[in-house]
Amino acid sequence: MTVVGPFGLSVQDQALEADVREGMAAVEQALADATKSDVPFITVGAQHLLHAGGKRFRPLLTLLAAQFGDANAPGIVPAAVVVELTHLATLYHDDVMDEASMRRGAVSANARWDNSVAILTGDFLFSRASQILADLGPKAVRLQAQAFERLVTGQILETAGPGPDDDPVRHYLDVLSGKTSSLIAVSCHLGALLAGADERVVDILTQYGERIGTAFQLADDILDVASESRESGKTPGTDLREGVPTLPVLLLRATEPDPSVPGDLRLRELTAGPIEDDELHAEALELMRAHPALAQAREDTLRWAEEARELLGPLPPCPAKSALEGLCDAVALRTM
């Protein structure tokens, strides 16, 4: 068994391992080429987050989905590059909206330069993705456009927040569906489509991408609370410190206060907004880690991962199917 990728993806087939490694290397080179400009300053800005690393989860799924057809079809690597460039572009814009100072362990583009440079750099990456996408045909263009619309809709929903009659948990899941799952689903969709996979297989893999995308984002919510390290890619408790209501906090708020749960009332008080004081932040983390809301968030996350696994059932047994099932297992490991 060989582990490939940042999520501990288990690949037990040597041929698949070789294909994935070769494909990811080609994607990495193509990303480097796509972020170059005749203007040196633009190249530096466009490659800022590229050089900071990243999971490359979306390209990986594109390559795995292509295994259900002709994995060597000429559009596979370009499609993987398109989805990753789109993802990178959104990070530049997100950091401006969130006023973030760090991204992937490096100074964010807006902090290193300014908001205007960060926004325009994101736009540059969108334009490069569009140029590559144009060569993949009108159906691919339409799919990406639809995914991008969902992505922007999710961002708008997050910015607007839930309405007075909205269920905050349902609203949050809708935000994740747009901001995260849409692009992960289209990664699978494009990989299978451009590889010439059967229409039913394309649909299964697309729906799998929807669910595994939500599962991985929810797992990040849990890691932000439960991790003692930087597994989630950011300092533990970042969301709590910034007052960002992720699933554990939303589930806490969705229940009536329970004095029989140790620290329940105190935790509600602490998580009512941002927590700037280090001692109060440490207290909130400790209480959240022991609260039933975190256990419920873990159960919900695992349910999304299990739904993704079940969707793969009709697909014929093959190394790529096993690898996709392995990603569902990785969700469970990340939430422990």
Task: Choose between 118 and 170: higher pLDDT.
Answer: 170
Q: What is the pLDDT of residues 189-246, one digit of tens each?
A: 999 999 999 999 999 999 999 999 999 999 999 998 987 755 444 577 888 988 989 9
Return the bridge partners of 103, or none. 106
Secondary element (H or E) of residue 103: strand 102-103
State the chain's mean pLDDT as an integer: 90
Q: Given the structure tokens 């972020």, which residue do they identify?
A: 35
What pLDDT sits at residue 158? 93
Task: Choose between 287 and 11: higher pLDDT.
Answer: 287
Encoding tokens for residue 209? 């991408």
What 8-state DSSP symbol labels residue 229? Answer: S
**Gap between the Cα atoms of 290 and 262, Å rounded:** 8
**Gap between the Cα atoms of 336 and 132, Å rounded:** 39
- Nearest alpha carbon to residue 87 among 206, 180, 1, 12: 180
What pLDDT sits at residue 100? 62
Number of residues assigned to the chain: 336
What 8-state DSSP symbol labels residue 272? Answer: T
What pLDDT sits at residue 99? 64
| pLDDT interval class at 1 (50, 70, 90) | very low
What pLDDT sits at residue 4? 52
| pLDDT interval class at 103 (50, 70, 90) | low
What pLDDT sits at residue 232? 44
The number of angstroms, rounded, from the C-alpha of 299 to the middle of its chain's C-alpha atoms is 19
**Gap between the Cα atoms of 271 and 241, Å rounded:** 9
Q: Given the structure tokens 């408790």, which residue do they identify?
A: 237
What global pTM score does this model have? 0.92
What pLDDT sits at residue 49? 81
Secondary element (H or E) of residue 3: strand 2-4
What pLDDT sits at residue 257? 94
What contacts 302, CB < 8 A, 6 or more positions away? 215, 331, 332, 335
Encoding tokens for residue 208? 């799998």
Q: State whether residue 237 is helix, strand or coil.
A: coil
